Amino acid sequence: MKIGSLIGDIIKSFFRKPATILYPVERIHAPERYRGQLFWEPEKCSGCQLCVKDCPSDAIELIVLDKVNKRFVMRYDKDKCTYCAQCVASCRFACLNMNSEQWELASLRKEPFTVYYGKDEDVSFLLAERAAIGHLHSTE
């Protein structure tokens, strides 16, 4: 039976750099498969809505502006998302991917958590429409 068997290790640790990474002063890069924020490309989307059906937390919603002309807008809630990437796996056209760089998603207000993806004209059309409806409701 020995006593103080860790003495070699603690002496070594004394002269080694600490194992702590001083975030946010030091940063390490997340590996490329890291599941950060979700991004959607509207070009290849067929509107099958499998991603919406399979999301465990209802974080994405595909708003159909025009099904025939494939005009869709996706509303993505960063705070509801569980970053499981099931939507990425369900999509057959590879429209969705999770970015490994955007993972510092904290915010002090609720608004930045809801993002709209789509072609610029589609998104502005949708937002204008929603603002008009909201304005209509608020004046009643």
Partner 1 sequence: MSENMKSILSLLLFPGGLAVMAAGMVYEFIDRKLVARFQNRVGPRWFQPLADFIKLLAKEEVIPEGIHPVLFQWLPVVAMAGALTSALYVPMFGLEPAFHFTGDLVVTIYLLSILTLCTGLAGANVANRFSIIGATRTLTQLFSYEAPFLLALFGPAIAAGSWDIAVIEQYATIHPWLMFLQPVGFLVALIGLMGKLELPPFDAPEAETEIVSGALTEYSGRGYALFRLGRNVELVIGLTLVAAFYMGGVANPFLFIAKTIGLLLVVAALQSLFARLRIDQTVGLWWRSGAVLVLLQLLVLIVLKYFGVAI
Partner 2 sequence: MPETKHSDKFIVPIGPQHPALKEPGHFEFTVDGETVTGASVRLGFVHRGIEKATEERTYIQDLYLLERICGICSHVHAMAFALGVEKLAGVTVPERAQAIRVLVAEMERIHSHLLWLGVAAHEAGFDTLFMYAWRDREKVMDLLEQLCGNRVNYSINVLGGVKEDVNDTIREGILNAMDYLETRTDLYLKLVTTERTLIGRTRGIGIMEKQTAARLGTVGPTARASGLERDIRIEAPYAAYMQYPARIVIENTGDLEARFVVRVKELYESFRLIRSILSTLPAGELTTKMPRRIPEGETISRVEAPRGELFYYIKSNGSDKPDRVKVRTPSINNFASVMATAVGHKLADIPMILSGIDPCFSCNDRMVSIRGAEGRQGVDWEGLRRYGIEYYR
Q: Is 39 in the site for partner 2 (CB under 8 A)?
A: no
Cβ within 8 Å of residue 91, ≥6 positions away: 50, 51
CA distance 57 to 48: 18
Say if strands 114-117 and 60-66 run parallel, antiparallel, or are unpaired: unpaired
Site string for partner 2, 69-108 (x = CB under 8 A): -------------xxxxx--xx-------x----------
CB of 51 to partner 1, least distance (A): 43
Residue of 47, 56, 112, 134 interacting with partner 2 (CB under 8 A): 56
Are 47 and 72 spatial neighbours (Cβ–Cβ below 8 Å)? yes
**Nearest to 59, CA basis, from 35, 90, 84, 34:** 84
Dump strand ranges (E) for 28-126. Answer: 38-40, 60-66, 71-77, 96-98, 114-117
Q: Is 35 in the site for partner 2 (CB under 8 A)?
A: yes
Cβ within 8 Å of residue 85, ≥6 positions away: 35, 98
Choose among partner 2, partner 1, none what residue 65 binds, the Cβ cut-off being 5 to 8 Å by kind.
none
CB of 10 to partner 1, least distance (A): 4
CB of 13 to partner 1, least distance (A): 4
Q: Is 65 in the site for partner 2 (CB under 8 A)?
A: no
Q: Is 33 in the site for partner 2 (CB under 8 A)?
A: yes
Binding-site ranges for partner 2 (CB under 8 A): 1-6, 9-10, 19, 30-31, 33-35, 53-56, 82-86, 89-90, 98
